A and B are shown apart, each in its own frame.
Chain A
Amino acid sequence: MNGRLREPPAALKQEEIMDVLLELQEVSKRYGDKIAVDGVSFSAPAGQLFGLLGPNGAGKTSIIRMITTITRPDSGKLFFEGRSLGGRHQSVIGYLPEERGLYKKMYVGEHLIYLGRLKGMDKADARQKAGEWLERFGLSERWGQRVEELSKGLQQQVQFIATVLHRPRLIMLDEPFSGLDPVNAGKLKEEIRGLAQAGAAVILSTHRMEQVEAICQRLVLINQGRTVLEGSLEAVRGRFQQNRYRLQYAAPWAPAADGPYPLLPIGEGEVAVDLPAGHTPNDFLAWAMAAGATVSSFRQDAPSLNDIFIRLVKQP
């Protein structure tokens, strides 16, 4: 299990220089006859929010368990700061599983201290940090309550605190917003951003695209155990940029159906157009104005992550 220092992989060199914290290289895992993960590679940089996306059953949980050192890959390697990832990294990894769970009979403060100490904190440090975090979430008065006395939402916040209490450098969050009301979800989003800004690599596993779109800088999309897509949010969007534009116009305008551009009506006073090869937006605008349109806005239609996701996952 000797770690080795590695050169950053070629793919990353092409993009911006990143401080890679976690790297997966051709990682595979099978359970019995079923191949759960099949040669997955990606890198999560420090100081950024990284989205791990995929439909249900894509192999996300298997990947998460390998990242959190709960299981080991059958083949391939995981690296933490260029060194082979192993049990000794448990103290610098924080993990919030999708299925939350705490010891119901323990007191909140006691529980946080216990989990912090298991991660290698000393008692006084764990106590102080737990106090600080509870205060941040406005939960200070819950210190002496039993976990089972808290509402589900509060338990979830306590569990988030337990995940980040020991100042982990790699934070693995599996569907962190599920079950939270919008106010608490927003609060949590801010905290997660803060942790990334403070230098941690935060991996967010979810099937909710808009969450990734809102807060992640990079992402990987997994389907049927394989990497379908990896890169920065902009790069991904750029790659799936279509030649589709939206034109809004002041009514009334009735363009002829047999024109050179196939128009898709979207709503009152708006049409979308897929520009055929060889045509520029200028060509289209010139044609539209010539056809009598009073243009009020014209913009490129960026594909949402959701569209990309659905398009890629649906492919055979």
Chain B
Amino acid sequence: MTNMMKQLRLIVEREYVTRVRRASFIAATFLTPLAFGVFIAIIHFIFRYESDDALRIAVVDPDHIFGGAIADEKNVYFKLVGEPADSLRSRAVREGDRFPFDAILAAPRAGQVLRKDYQVDYFSDRKLTLDAEPILLERLQGALRRHKIRQLNLKEEELTALDTRLVIRAHPMQPSEDDSSPFAGKIAAAIGVVMGLVMYTTVFIYGMMVMRGVMEEKTNRIVEVMVSSVRPFPLMMGKIIGIGAVGLTQVAVWAVLIPGILLAVNLIFGISPRPDTLPIETVDWNPADAELMIEQIAYDLYQMRWRLILPLFVLYFLGGYFMYAALFAAVGSAMSDDLGEGQSLTIPITIPVVLASYIMLAAIQAPHSTLAVWASIFPLFSPIVMPARLPFDPAWWQVALSLFLLGLTAVALVWLSGRIYRTGILLYGKKVNLMDLLRWMFR
């Protein structure tokens, strides 16, 4: 037994070390977050790219809607002109390039204060760009609003008071201190989705890696030497554990690097998540709201029962990874040198994983629905569905039952996979189907 443990340790170590030092691993681990950062930076750069093309607009405002002055914007310059719009237009045609403006904006006429809809004329040979249009609209709406307030003898505050804003605060029936904010549900959903997706991707990526590793050993024929030194079971387990450790290393590096690089991108390019990069929304954005929101989100995150959620997440990760990785190992052992031929054998494994991910997305919407509850207990789905439900405080018996079944199933499937594996790795030149695999399990 101690000898087997020693061998297992050696195999785990080899699987881990030879993978982690590969250039492809180092590239994937360190360049992925970097590429991510570069991508974000480029996206922001594209959206923040400001035209260096100046637009000079002559504003005709006979009724002084604008109150005598209009604030310029970068590359958009306004000038109030006394001349009527029609004469300006004919001058523009006549003077051509010598005309000092690119466009003429005719401000709306005063009067009819209760009118809601206005049409404003804009004359130019240049298309109204997506950059400039919101600026014009914002200037016009602001000017009309101020004009109407003056005309109606209202006060700015009175008008603001009419804009009612509402949030629904959810409380538990029993009053308690850890009162959640209106964001609690959304945060729980976000955490749930992140955990569910992390489970889904890790199971797939590293499960496939196990399968490829097993196939390589078999087609390499090294497996024949290996099984004359080690029993097949520790050989399989060593690979699964070693690759699992590779996965944890990669995820850990990403967990540190991705937020770090995003922060760095922010600092370098001055990109902030504040919506002022999106001019259309600036109208009713109140910075005080943002601070409150961030505070509340932080508070809600703090209120999550992390001390329960994280260890449970790790348990589900282990159960799910071992269960699926063992199945992938079994399939890998049955494959011949031809990858395409064996691909059909992976379908019975991928179907539950994909199904589970869809159920997980549904479970986020309705975490206590019958589907969500039972899918989070069914062992083939639970590693992906239950982590998504964890932030919504599922009943303890559901978690306990689900973990128990998952543990049982994982042990059973690892054992059965071991039986397929020990037959599959020594079999060459025969096309294997699902029935063969089932037969090997119980032979």
Residues on A close to B: CB < 8 A?
65, 68-71, 87, 90-91, 93, 95, 97, 99-106, 114-115, 117-120, 159, 162
Give CA–CA (A65, B11) in the complex, Å: 22
Stretch of B225-233, B361-369, B370-378 at the chain-chain interface: B225-233
- Indicate if B222 sits at the interface (CB-CB under 8 A): yes
Q: Which residue of A lies closest to B7 (CB)?
A: A118
Contact of B18 among A71, A102, A105 (CB under 8 A): A105
- Indicate if B22 sits at the interface (CB-CB under 8 A): yes
Q: Determine if B220 and A120 form an interchain contact, defined as CB atoms under 8 angstroms apart.
A: no
Residues on B close to A: CB < 8 A?
3, 7, 10-11, 14, 18, 22, 220-231, 426
Q: Please list the 8 inter-chain residue pairs (A to B) with the smallest Cβ-Cβ separation, ordered nearest first.
A: A101-B221, A101-B222, A99-B221, A95-B228, A101-B220, A68-B228, A97-B224, A118-B229
Q: Determine if A106 and B10 form an interchain contact, defined as CB atoms under 8 angstroms apart.
A: no
Contact of B220 among A104, A114, A115, A118 (CB under 8 A): A104
Q: Determine if A87 and B231 form an interchain contact, defined as CB atoms under 8 angstroms apart.
A: yes
Would you give the shortest CB distance from A180 to chain B, in whole angstroms?
Answer: 17
Q: Determine if B229 and A115 form an interchain contact, defined as CB atoms under 8 angstroms apart.
A: yes
Give CA–CA (A162, B223) in the complex, Å: 14
Give CA–CA (A91, B3) in the complex, Å: 10
Please indicate the chain A residues that have their CB under 8 angstroms from the CB of B18 in the complex: 103, 105-106
Contact of A119 among B224, B229, B231, B426 (CB under 8 A): B229
DSSP class of B's interface residues: helix, strand, loop or mixed? helix
Q: Determine if B222 and A93 form an interchain contact, defined as CB atoms under 8 angstroms apart.
A: no
Q: Determine if B228 and A103 form an interchain contact, defined as CB atoms under 8 angstroms apart.
A: no
DSSP class of A's interface residues: helix, strand, loop or mixed? loop
Please indicate the chain A residues that have their CB under 8 angstroms from the CB of B221 in the complex: 97, 99-101
Q: Which residue of B lies closest to A96 (CB)?
A: B225
Q: Which residue of B lies closest to A114 (CB)?
A: B14
Would you give the shortest CB distance from B361 to chain A, in whole angstroms?
Answer: 39
Please indicate the chain B residues that have their CB under 8 angstroms from the CB of A120 in the complex: 3
Would you give the shortest CB distance from A92 to chain B, in whole angstroms?
Answer: 11
Would you give the shortest CB distance from A230 to chain B, in whole angstroms?
Answer: 24
Q: Report if A93-B228 is in contact (Cβ < 8 Å); known contacts: A102-B222, A103-B222.
A: yes
Q: Determine if B22 and A105 form an interchain contact, defined as CB atoms under 8 angstroms apart.
A: yes
Give CA–CA (A71, B425) in the complex, Å: 12
Would you give the shortest CB distance from B421 to chain A, in whole angstroms?
Answer: 13
Q: Which residue of B lies closest to A93 (CB)?
A: B228
Would you give the shortest CB distance from B154 to chain A, in whole angstroms?
Answer: 77
Q: Report if A65-B229 is in contact (Cβ < 8 Å); known contacts: A118-B7, A120-B3.
A: no
Give CA–CA (A90, B230) in the complex, Å: 8
Contact of B225 among A65, A91, A117, A162 (CB under 8 A): A162
Would you give the shortest CB distance from B222 to chain A, in whole angstroms?
Answer: 4
Q: Determine if B220 and A69 form an interchain contact, defined as CB atoms under 8 angstroms apart.
A: no
Q: Report if A70-B222 is in contact (Cβ < 8 Å); known contacts: A93-B228, A118-B229, A118-B230.
A: no
Q: Which residue of A lies closest to B230 (CB)?
A: A118
Q: Determine if A99 and B10 form an interchain contact, defined as CB atoms under 8 angstroms apart.
A: no
Q: Determine if A101 and B3 form an interchain contact, defined as CB atoms under 8 angstroms apart.
A: no
Please indicate the chain B residues that have their CB under 8 angstroms from the CB of A90 in the complex: 228-230
Q: Determine if B228 and A69 form an interchain contact, defined as CB atoms under 8 angstroms apart.
A: yes
**5 residue pairs bridging A and B, Cβ less than 8 Å apart:** A104-B220, A105-B18, A105-B22, A118-B11, A162-B225
